[in-house]
Structure 1
Amino acid sequence: MDVQTAVSREGAANPGFFLAIAGNIGVGKTELTTRLSQELGWVAYYEPVIQNPYLDPFYKDMPRWSFHLQIYFLSERFKAQVEISKGSLPFIQDRTIYEDAEIFARVLHAQGSMTQVDYENYTSLFGVMVDFLRKPDVILYLKASPETLMGRIAQRGRESEKGIGIDYIRRLSDAYDAWMVRARAYTEVMEIDTDSVPLQGETPAFRRLVEDLKRRYPRQVELPLDQG
């Protein structure tokens, strides 16, 4: 069975609800993915950051490593999406495959850190891959100001992220805002500005979000945790 058949058959037979958590570097996607997964009993899928062999070199030399990094992320997220499509449980994904092309590759190319040839090859491959994959049922878009994001990046202290500059973060934020306009054409988008609506810790805003998701998608919350 080829990949297209496998994804199409499994995805059509067992369509688990798909909540995507999207947003810039340092906005709090991973923490929120974990907490919502625990609260709702939904399966969590995380971004493959720690295992990525290109991340450290990339932040030291973006033009040299941008294509390698983006291909790695594309490959890993495609494999994750294939696995996701096989399940029947609702799930949450910490950053989607769509952000790779819509945000990161687009910004790297625009700022001259990815050549035209590499960008065309990348987007061609991305276009083939996403034809096999389902789109999120809902995108939860987390926002914060570039200054806030830089503070959070510094606070978590990842060695590989020490070279990130605020101009790069600003470009990514602008690209996210532009993507959300396009994304609303094919899925629901819930937007939260985490500068004014804090979700870290047991805040009223976090509790409202949990209750909102339960109210919107009650059938998903009722699914047993051991279903598979």
Structure 2
Amino acid sequence: MVIEGNIGAGKTTLAQMISEKYKTKLVLEQFADNPFLPKFYENQEQYSFPLEMAFLAERYNQLNRELSHLDLFSPFTISDYYFMKSLIFAQNTLQPDEYNLYRQFFTIIYEKMPKPDLYVYLHKDVDLLLKNIAERGRIYEAFITKEYLEKISQGYFGYFRQQTDFPILIIDTNGIDFVGRPADFERLTNTIFNNQFNKGVTRVILD
């Protein structure tokens, strides 16, 4: 299972909470290890290509390493990102010639990656994303703009419109607080685990 969302949507927190509740194997993106990330937010034009290439390599290596070894004592594996994230972010940060080169590398690798049984996307309005980003206080994220978050959101939804290989559950979480209110967390997990979803997109609003 994959839990994703825009920057500040709470995907990592939710993945951790679900993993703890269901005693699953947890795979978290190691974004903090990317040496180009702080530089990128200060100078996107100069550092976008090395940033995205570094993410591509790290995500492939991590997923290949983690998913190749099954945990017999875990009911399933949950991750706070899917490999397609690489292409969505690159599309919004790279120049056209850089993106065309990047996509060639991505396509070669993507064909070898497993697909999730269920892809959950946490949708949250951009103003709430900015509020969450400010509250967690990562210095390099202070450069994130509303316009950048809107482009990332558009990239995700553009991808969803084309995807029919596996179930995608889009959950509008603007009206809930699954961290601060246990009842909201239960409603969220019940929505995810107590329903069957067909391939393609299903949208749910929790408020």
Shared fold, TM over 0.5:
yes
2:60 is equivalent to residue 74 of structure 1: no
Q: 2:26 aligns with which of 23, 44, 53?
A: 44
- Alpha-carbon contact 1:60-1:163 (below 8 Å) kept: yes
Q: 2:90 aligns with which of 95, 105, 109?
A: 105
Question: Is the radius of gyration larger for structure 1 or structure 2?
Answer: 1
Unpaired runs of 5+ in structure 1? 1-18, 109-113, 218-228
- Alpha-carbon contact 1:22-1:94 (below 8 Å) kept: yes
SS in 2 for 1:33: helix
Q: 1:140 aligns with which of 114, 120, 124?
A: 120
- Alpha-carbon contact 1:39-1:210 (below 8 Å) kept: no
Cα displacement string for residues 53-94 of structure 1 (whole angstroms, at most 9, x for unaligned residues)? 001000011111111111111111101221233133411111
The amino acid across from 2:120 in the alignment is: L
SS in 2 for 1:198: coil
Greater displacement, 58-67 / 207-216: 207-216
The amino acid across from 1:173 in the alignment is: S
The amino acid across from 2:102 in the alignment is: Y
Report the counterpart of residue 182 of structure 2 in structure 1: 203
Q: 1:55 aligns with which of 26, 37, 50?
A: 37
2:70 is equivalent to residue 84 of structure 1: no
Q: 1:213 Cα deviation (Å)?
A: 4.4
Q: 1:214 Cα deviation (Å)?
A: 4.5
SS in 2 for 1:189: strand
Q: 1:212 Cα deviation (Å)?
A: 4.3
| Percent sequence identity over aligned pairs | 28
Unpaired runs of 5+ in structure 2? 197-207
Q: 1:213 to 1:115 in 2, by over 3 A?
A: closer
Q: 1:216 Cα deviation (Å)?
A: 5.1
For normalisation by structure 1, the TM-score amounts to 0.79
The amino acid across from 1:135 in the alignment is: K
Cα displacement string for residues 118-147 of structure 1 (whole angstroms, at most 9, x for unaligned residues)? 211110000000111111111110011111
Quick one: distance in 2 between partners of 1:25 and 1:85? 24
The count of corresponding residues between Structure 1 and Structure 2 is: 192
Runs of 4+ in structure 1 deviating by more than 3 angstroms, as ranges, are 211-217
- Alpha-carbon contact 1:59-1:163 (below 8 Å) kept: yes
The amino acid across from 1:207 in the alignment is: E
The amino acid across from 2:91 in the alignment is: R
Quick one: distance in 1 between partners of 2:134 and 2:6? 14
Q: 1:210 Cα deviation (Å)?
A: 2.6
The amino acid across from 2:28 in the alignment is: Y
Cα displacement string for residues 80-116 of structure 1 (whole angstroms, at most 9, x for unaligned residues)? 2212331334111111210110x211112xxxxx233
The amino acid across from 1:197 in the alignment is: I
Q: 1:199 Cα deviation (Å)?
A: 1.8
SS in 2 for 1:92: strand
Report the counterpart of residue 201 of structure 2 in structure 1: none
SS in 1 for 2:155: helix
The amino acid across from 1:198 in the alignment is: D
SS in 2 for 1:77: helix
